[in-house]
Amino acid sequence: MNEQSIDAAQKISLDLLVGACPDQLAIVRQEWPAGIPLTKQAAQRAIQLGLSLDWAAKTLLTAPALAAYEKARAPALDAYEKARAPAWAAFQKAKAPALLALLKNKKNWKRGHKNE
């Protein structure tokens, strides 16, 4: 990140967000038209708004800084994956019988597919 991109009030200028998803960029422009302040409150607000902090990290941080970010978030990501795993397994188990039941009826098949 160059010196001109962060002003004296420690804000990320909107010109650094080139390549951002148009929907997310519109949210940022509406919420912080003068740039995103580098504060805990702004980070929490970004999360509330559904903005991608990971995109910002990958786009704005140097390689060493990104590695430090990924190391810092790793325990939380691991906890998330462990908590999500049983729900994902239950979802997978529940959807299979529904699909099989629907596939047994030829009327549910798209044209061109054969159920022989």
What SS3 class is residue 108? helix
Q: Is pTM beyond 0.85 here?
A: no
Domains of the chain, by residue range, sit at 3-60
Spans in the chain with pLDDT lower than 50: 1-4, 8
Quick one: what percent of the chain has pLDDT higher than 70? 88
**pLDDT given for residue 116 in this prediction:** 53
The answer to whether 23 touches 55, Cβ cutoff 8 Å, is: no
C-alpha distances (whole Å) from 102 to each of 12, 52, 110, 112 are 51, 37, 12, 17
**pLDDT given for residue 2 in this prediction:** 47
**pLDDT given for residue 110 in this prediction:** 87
**pLDDT given for residue 3 in this prediction:** 47
